[in-house]
């Protein structure tokens, strides 16, 4: 595998905790996950006219570059190829004042690809990998710009209750805005939040559609389209093609059983901090006729002396079938569906119950922290039942064992991760610098890979993040990210079947400017 000089990694030390931020302005924080936290927003006004005249505009300019260096290249449709992507864009978000509790937010986001096309010669396949979120892949495989009102919602505030209806970001364990590229992942939904119970936040919602980061339009929260034949080639970019999508839940398979290809989601989230040092989280996702998911998590902080704290954490995720298994089978790649729905017997035999999506994950972690330093060790174990369905940019193993651009919630997968975060600025070592380093090991089920029921092979990941701000360049942030993935060789010998189980290096460089 082609590796860079890892002395750079060792010298930097240290992945960023999602709550950390490097760039803070008078009215906003830019979190490590790319998301904006508004510190100052328009308040109450005295008339409808003042709703707009007292509103605020928030601007953001960003540049995002990606380089992928594969150990093996296969310049065919669906194969792997070294590629580079550069997108330049930004956003303008307008928030009104609130008149009698009513207000609104509209956000326009855009990006334009600058680098050369990553079109595989003689095909309509684009070799861009994670960086494809810096542009939109057209039907012919070429790169196009994105310009979309990703946010457009009305809002009502009454006491400790807040209601948002329309296009909005939703952030929980299973759903996320995930604004780490150029355009956020948002949803058309109605969400209500209430904080009347002391130390408790309750959120509930009804989610109707989703717009992935590299998509121009809103689409099904669940249905996948392979885009391989007839009019489906046009449909692909209008459906859910997230890396975590269940390909067996395709438009074709769903409609063959006369089910709804545009189902709605019921979402409920509870966060409680009533016991000192203990944070409890619970979440429910329900899609009628498909499946439901429940998540429970607890984190307890213990003072261990000399400024050090130790925080054990545990999370359980359970997925319960309600018809999805019959449609698409237990595997995310769709090969465990029935023969009529694109599966095969060999793949089906590698799962304990191929016609059910019942499944679960247990995971745990320890976080040791003191001042600018945070150390984490995490472990996750996915039951040998069904793969976990989560195509909404929230990651089931996030914060425990999930690393950059990796998916490790396949049935019978065991993973562990160690991570160090260090705030060089807070430590008085390097002004404006935050760094992080992680190592993860993911052990996938070889039986499922051999049966072509899973596309992933065992792998280890080294991941570095560096974020730098300068006092001489206010409101601007520079971020460098590196990942080295050492994956076991795939058992698939045909170049046309090369999958993600290949080794590669990935480099990202991002610039953000808030105005």
CB 444 within 8 A of CB 410: yes
Round to whole Å and give the CA distance between 390 and 204: 18
CB 163 within 8 A of CB 190: yes
E strand or H helix at 202, and its extent?
strand 200-211
Question: What class is the 7-461+479-514 domain?
Answer: mainly beta
CA 303, chain centre distance (Å): 32
* Strand ranges for 385-503 from DSSP E: 414-423, 433-443, 459-470, 473-487
Burial of 126 (0-12, 13-18, 19+ CB in 10 A): buried
pTM: 0.91
Tokens at 446, concatenated: 């070889």
Interior/surface letters 77-90, b for 16+ CB within 10 angstroms, e for the rest: eebbbebebbbbbb
Round to whole Å and give the CA distance between 155 and 99: 11
Sheet holding 28-31, edge to edge: 21-24, 28-31, 36-38
Given a cut of 70, the residues of the chain with pLDDT beneath it are 1-21, 75-79, 116, 227-238, 490-501
Tokens at 64, concatenated: 């995002």
Closest by alpha carbon to 13, among 505, 373, 370? 373
Predicted local confidence at residue 60, as pLDDT: 97
CA 166, chain centre distance (Å): 21
Round to whole Å and give the CA distance between 10 and 67: 21
Predicted local confidence at residue 377, as pLDDT: 98
User: Could you tell me the residue ranges of all domains in the chain?
Assistant: 7-461+479-514
User: What is the per-residue DSSP string for 329-372?
Assistant: -S-TTSTTS-GGGT--HHHHTTSSSTT---EEEEEEEEEEEETT
Our CA dihedral for 254, 256, 258, 263, rounded to 10 degrees, sits at 10
CB 185 within 8 A of CB 210: yes
- Contacts (Cβ under 8 Å, ≥6 apart) of 230: none
E strand or H helix at 61, and its extent?
strand 56-70
CB 220 within 8 A of CB 199: no
Alpha-carbon Rg for the chain, nearest whole angstrom, is 23
Round to whole Å and give the CA distance between 330 and 351: 7
């Amino acid at each position: 595998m082609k590796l860079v000089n890892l002395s750079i990694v060792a010298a930097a030390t240290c992945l960023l905790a999602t709550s950390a931020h490097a760039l803070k302005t008078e009215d906003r924080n830019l979190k490590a996950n790319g998301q904006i936290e508004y510190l100052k927003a328009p308040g109450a006004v005295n008339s409808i006219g003042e709703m707009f005249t007292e509103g605020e505009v928030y601007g953001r300019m960003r540049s995002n570059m990606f380089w992928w260096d594969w150990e093996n290249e296969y310049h065919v449709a669906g194969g792997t190829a070294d590629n580079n992507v550069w997108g330049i864009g930004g956003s303008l978000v307008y928030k009104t004042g609130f008149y009698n509790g009513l207000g609104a937010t509209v956000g326009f986001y855009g990006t334009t690809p600058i680098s050369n096309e990553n079109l595989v010669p003689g095909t309509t396949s684009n070799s861009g990998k994670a960086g494809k979120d810096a542009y939109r892949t057209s039907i012919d495989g070429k790169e196009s710009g994105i310009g979309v009102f990703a946010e457009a919602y009305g809002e009502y505030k009454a006491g400790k209750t807040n209601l948002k209806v329309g296009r909005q970001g939703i952030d929980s364990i299973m759903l996320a805005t995930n604004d780490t590229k150029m355009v956020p992942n948002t949803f058309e939904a109605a969400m209500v939040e209430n904080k009347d119970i002391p130390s408790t936040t309750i959120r509930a919602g009804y989610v109707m559609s989703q717009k992935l980061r590299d998509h121009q339009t809103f689409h099904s929260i669940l249905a996948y389209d392979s885009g391989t034949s007839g009019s489906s080639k046009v449909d692909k970019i209008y459906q859910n093609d997230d890396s975590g999508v269940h390909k067996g839940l395709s438009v074709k398979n769903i409609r063959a059983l006369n089910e709804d290809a545009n189902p709605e989601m019921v979402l409920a989230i509870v966060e409680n901090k009533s016991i000192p040092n203990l944070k409890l989280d619970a979440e429910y996702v329900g899609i009628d006729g498909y499946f439901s998911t429940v998540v429970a998590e607890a984190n307890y902080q213990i003072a261990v002396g000399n400024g050090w704290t130790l925080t054990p954490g545990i999370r359980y995720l359970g997925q319960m079938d309600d018809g999805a298994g019959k449609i698409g089978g237990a595997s995310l790649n769709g090969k465990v569906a029935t023969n009529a729905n694109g599966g095969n017997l060999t793949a089906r035999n590698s799962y304990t119950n191929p016609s059910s999506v019942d499944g679960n994950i247990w995971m745990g972690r320890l976080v040791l922290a003191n001042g600018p330093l945070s150390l984490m060790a995490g472990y996750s174990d996915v039951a040998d039942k069904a793969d976990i369905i989560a195509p909404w940019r929230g990651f089931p193993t996030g914060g425990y064992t999930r690393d950059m651009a990796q998916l490790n919630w396949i049935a019978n997968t065991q993973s562990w991760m160690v991570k160090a975060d260090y705030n060089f600025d807070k430590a008085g070592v390097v002004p404006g610098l935050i760094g992080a380093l992680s190592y993860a090991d993911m052990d996938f089920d070889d039986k499922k890979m051999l049966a072509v029921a899973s596309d992933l092979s065992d792998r280890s990941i080294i991941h570095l993040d560096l974020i730098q701000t300068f006092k001489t360049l206010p409101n601007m942030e520079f971020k460098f990210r590196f990942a080295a993935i050492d994956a076991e060789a795939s058992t698939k010998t045909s170049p046309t079947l090369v999958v993600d189980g290949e080794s590669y290096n990935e480099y990202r460089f991002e610039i953000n400017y808030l105005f």
